[in-house]
Chains A and B, each alone.
Chain A
Amino acid sequence: MSGAAEQRSNYIRGGDGEWEIVVGMEVHAQVLSKAKLFSGASTTFGAEPNAQVSFVDAAMPGMLPVINRFCVEQAIRTGLGLKAAINRVSTFDRKNYFYPDLPAGYQISQYKNPIVGEGEVLLDLAKGRTVRVGIERLHLEQDAGKSLHDQHPDHSYVDLNRAGVALMEIVSKPDMRSSEEAAAFVKKLRAILRYLGTCDGNMEEGSLRADVNVSVRRPGASLGTRCEIKNVNSMRFIAQAVEYEARRQIRIVETGGAIRQETRLFDARIGETRSMRSKEEAHDYRYFPDPDLLPLVLDEAWIEEIAASLPELPDDKKARFIRDYGIPAYDAGVLVGERELADYYEDLAKGIDAKLAVNWLNNEILGRLNRDGLSIGDCPVSARANNAILRLVAAQTISGKIAKDVLDIVWTEGGDPVAIVAARGLTQVTDTSAIDKAIDAVIVANPDKVEEVKAKPKLAGWFVGQVMKQTGGKANPQAVNTLLRARLGIPEEG
């Protein structure tokens, strides 16, 4: 399926022919856990500075790390969710460097033997295209604290609340070929993590951060020199950063220059990347196995237990939605992007036309949520209430137009749709005599139009509108159409 034709659609034009972008990513996902990776300290976001720091986190003399079993479980769960190999034995290494927000002078990480090996993520792209991105590895490591440089004119402050919090570093293979794919990768990865409950995916609070590796090459050529863009913290910025960086590199190569391997920063205000440090300035981290920690040996039964507890993940859910609900792949992909949205849809579609339900969700619900700046979790109208509205339409109790009015009422005022329809007399008129009466009135009032419509059958629509107006929108439009055409002697369409 990933034929050359499809690849070519990703090429971008430089001043001098076509180029291919190659993107790989290192995503740091904060493990959803009440306690830190090697100390008992709390991990709640937003506490007073240095309120959540144990003696271990502050690297007091003689303090020792003890692995948090739950964080390990979360890493295994994530590995299984990425269809990855779980390494039965993994080890922790020290990454040594000096920085005030790194109290021990080293970060405990997994350099040589990570807990999770190769896996994959499937990207859902526009026009139903899917791309497989390989996962190289996932490892556990500690986060550092935070240096605060803006609190005092000539002092820096350090907040160690985040120091020691568990992170999963998830490394992709260089399998992405465009900014769209790069953003889609983070989006999909985030969805999987949220489904699994292993990371809250909150990019604004920094629970999910991406280092983006970008290089360019001529189609078919070997990989170019890459630059790493550090800590990009939104999907939009990831796409922008890739786009900018690729253009920058193409410009350099096309004008006879060479790409320097370096670490760069993305400046979101101006949408550009700039150099942070070159390869030559890179630290020598002096990795070596942490002698304070034993190898992490995983019990087979425990892995199986975790595997058995995995929720249905986006790809499986999507396949099921297509299969069981008969909805288009694109719609299914959108729905499963957020677990809450997928759940909402399933409740909404219960016992009614699933395609109608997805259209209603896309056009009416998401539109209103977007307008009001709400997420699906905050939707003021429950899936059940919407299901009731659509059932009223299906039973021809109300028209599609009235259905939207009912939704607006429930949206702003709340209440039960069935009761609202009954109380406000919104029931659709299917009684032909009542409709006939309205038709009579319109015909009598517009003799000229009656003549006209005989020559121009398209005018029938105007009559339908007039009759609907007469009935206050409650007439069944289908019935109006049929009766009108019979009275005016116009053949039915189609």
Chain B
Amino acid sequence: MPLPSAPTEFTLAEARDALCAKRVSAAELTAACLGAMAEARVLNAFITETPERATEMAAASDRRLAAGEARPLEGIPLAIKDLFCTKDVRTTAGSRILENFVPPYESTVTQNLWDAGAVLLGKTNMDEFAMGSSSETSWFKPVVSPWRARHSNQDVVPGGSSGGSAAAVAANLCLGATGTDTGGSIRQPAALSGIVGMKPTYGRCSRWGVVAFASSLDQAGPMTRTVRDAAILLNAMASVDPKDSTSVNTSVPDYEQGIDHGVKGLRVGVPREYRIEGAPHEIDALWSKGVEWMREQGADIVEVSLPYTKYALSVYYIVAPAEASSNLARYDGVRYGLRATDVHDVVELYEKSRAEGFGAEVRRRILIGTYVLSAGYYDAYYVRAQKIRALIAQDFARAFEHCDVLLTPSTPCSAFALGAKTADPVAMYLNDVFTVTVNLAGLPAISIPAGLTETGLPLGLQVIGKAFDEKLVLRAGHAIEEAAEFRASPARWWAR
């Protein structure tokens, strides 16, 4: 395949090879991305751009490349979700309460990336504290998707919460981005934005230095334009981290190796519960297509059942807010972050700082979480939710006795208009119906762009694997990518 004319259109793998072959310099690549970012500010994909740091890092990479000391991601410009703490670079979590917070430390995942030679372009916009499915709850205004329905000037959402990262990757503002996924926050925006997004197994990427939303569900992962790129990026992000007690002590394999070995003989499970009433027929149609692609490539299709799926959203909206209500207690105006003025005692300081600092969705989830943990409700909500969570994990374990991976739609719908669901939280929550189960079970899953709606908006398919079976998930994802031949990209309406 001939290389694209603009370096920003390189896949990460292409850029890596071009850099090593000295066909492009890190400085050129970074400058091209910074230029594209400047042109695309209307998308509001970034909260903070770091052009100076990017330029310095790229120059350092060029020196290493010249010296033949290139590391795996040498000179690759990346966008980082603003949930990862970056030393001396403002980290907001999309919230007013951290509007001016500059961490004196670097998250393990981003440190891994810099140690691999990557270049920081900036911090991407997101739903506040990663709570949302449209990237509209950000204190820094909504992210606008680079996609538009055919013949439409209507802005649509990129999905969320990692919507800034998704938009930046889809609009070719960077070669890859990090996201975090608590209930679908990587895979859902990836699906809605026509890119690849992967949530690894819980414990694969360190949570140290990532602003916590729901600790037992949060997991960082790559967002890229191809499955191979996701593998390359994940290789650099993943590590065993003694600073994170939930980091799992198992070595990181080479995810890229064997990615194109195909799915011949692979048993692909199709869970019947993922066919839901009222979903657009396009979703089902694409899913059937995906099954057909797998079959054509020699996979065995197995119908499986995940009977507790129907409780997953309810369980998720108990467990995640419960943990969030506790995790967000530290934002109290005492040590850092927004501090309300004109207060007379400590209770007023808390109340005003938090009321001014948190947006409506965050406040809603703190209230839900506080409620379900309260005396008298704890057993009825939190304890029951944990029991069902165990049953959901058991569902997957049983299904994986009959198959190697599962194939499902990524989302129940395509990108929707900005503001379309902000008034109806439950409608918004339904976006995660196909993704939350995976977080509850701690499994790895990937969303691959696989088709367009009739109006020309992207749709994704999801491959779910067993714990720490990322390699197989990537291999199956790669097979879908090959079969889908998804070549669509957003018209660059913002640059006109």
Contacts and interface: CB of A to CB of B under 8 A. Distances in A.
Contacts of B323: 288, 291
Contacts of A158: 334
Top 4 A-B residue pairs of the complex, sorted by shortest distance between their CB atoms: A105-B329, A291-B216, A286-B373, A291-B215
A223 interface: no
Interface residues of B, number: 42
Contacts of A55: 104-105
B375 A284 contact: yes
B211 interface: yes
A98 B245 contact: no
B322 A288 contact: yes
Contact of A62 (B209, B216, B335): B209
B263 to A, nearest CB: 35
B329 to A, nearest CB: 2
Contacts of B334: 100, 103, 158
A166 to B, nearest CB: 16
A203 to B, nearest CB: 29
B243 A100 contact: no
20 contacts: A58-B335, A61-B98, A61-B101, A61-B330, A62-B85, A62-B103, A62-B207, A62-B208, A62-B209, A64-B207, A64-B208, A66-B242, A67-B245, A100-B346, A103-B334, A105-B329, A105-B330, A156-B346, A288-B378, A291-B214
Chain B contact residues: over half helix, strand or loop, or mixed? loop
Contacts of B209: 62-63
B303 to A, nearest CB: 34
Given A100-B346, A156-B346, A158-B334, A284 B374 contact: yes
Interface in A65-120: 65-67, 94, 96, 98, 100, 103-106
Contact of B103 (A60, A66, A104, A286): A60
A294 B242 CA distance: 13
Contacts of A106: 326, 329
A59 interface: yes
Interface string B191-223: 000000000000000011111101110000000
B326 A105 contact: yes
B311 to A, nearest CB: 19
A293 interface: yes
Contacts of A60: 103, 105, 336
A305 interface: no
A59 B246 contact: no
Contacts of B382: 288
Contacts of A286: 325-326, 370, 373-375, 378
A292 interface: yes
A64 B325 CA distance: 16
A225 B335 CA distance: 40
Interface string B314-337: 000000001101100110101110
Contacts of A64: 207-208, 243-245
Nearest to A147: B346
B143 to A, nearest CB: 21
Interface of B: 84-85, 91, 93, 98, 101, 103-105, 107, 207-212, 214-216, 242-246, 322-323, 325-326, 329-330, 332, 334-336, 346, 350, 370, 373-375, 378, 382
Residue picked from A60, A64, A292, most chain B C-beta under 10 Å:
A64
B82 to A, nearest CB: 11
Contacts of B335: 58-59, 103
Contact of B245 (A58, A62, A65): A65
Given A66-B243, A156-B346, A291-B246, 8 more contacts: A58-B335, A59-B330, A62-B85, A65-B245, A105-B326, A286-B325, A288-B373, A288-B378
A281 B272 CA distance: 51
Contacts of A288: 322-323, 326, 373, 378, 382
Contact of B326 (A94, A156, A294): A94
B245 A103 contact: no
Contacts of A292: 212, 215, 245-246
A291 B326 CA distance: 10
Contacts of B107: 62
B399 to A, nearest CB: 25
Nearest to B216: A291
Contacts of B336: 60
B215 to A, nearest CB: 4
A61 B208 contact: no
Interface of A: 55, 58-67, 94, 96, 98, 100, 103-106, 156, 158, 284, 286-288, 291-294
B245 A61 contact: no
B450 to A, nearest CB: 33
Contacts of B208: 62-64
A410 to B, nearest CB: 56
Nearest to B92: A61
Nearest to B211: A61
A204 to B, nearest CB: 28
A448 to B, nearest CB: 89
B103 to A, nearest CB: 7
Contacts of A58: 335
A98 to B, nearest CB: 6
A142 to B, nearest CB: 14
A102 to B, nearest CB: 9
A56 to B, nearest CB: 9
Nearest to B104: A55
Contacts of B375: 284, 286
Contacts of A59: 330, 335
Nearest to B370: A286
Contact of A96 (B91, B245, B246, B373): B373
Given A61-B85, A286-B373, A288-B373, A66 B329 contact: no
A107 B197 CA distance: 36
A67 B244 CA distance: 10
Residue picked from B244, B322, B326, most chain A C-beta under 10 Å:
B326
B318 to A, nearest CB: 11
A199 B111 CA distance: 39
B103 A61 contact: yes
Given A98-B329, A292-B246, A61 B350 contact: no
B461 to A, nearest CB: 30
A66 B346 CA distance: 30
B330 A103 contact: yes
A61 B211 CA distance: 5
A291 B323 CA distance: 8
Contact of A61 (B91, B214, B326, B329): B91
A266 B212 CA distance: 40
Nearest to B369: A286
A294 B330 contact: no
Nearest to B218: A291
A58 B374 CA distance: 26
Residue picked from A61, A62, A94, most chain B C-beta under 10 Å:
A61
Contacts of B325: 96, 286
Contact of A104 (B244, B330, B378): B330
B470 to A, nearest CB: 21
B211 to A, nearest CB: 5
A84 B194 CA distance: 60
Contacts of B105: 55, 60
Contacts of B215: 291-292
A96 B91 CA distance: 25
B346 to A, nearest CB: 6
A156 B323 CA distance: 30
Contacts of B104: 55
B212 A62 contact: yes
Residue picked from A100, A156, A286, A292, most chain B C-beta under 10 Å:
A286
Contacts of A67: 245
A388 to B, nearest CB: 56
B324 to A, nearest CB: 11
Contacts of A294: 245-246
A289 to B, nearest CB: 8
Contacts of A156: 346
A293 B246 CA distance: 7
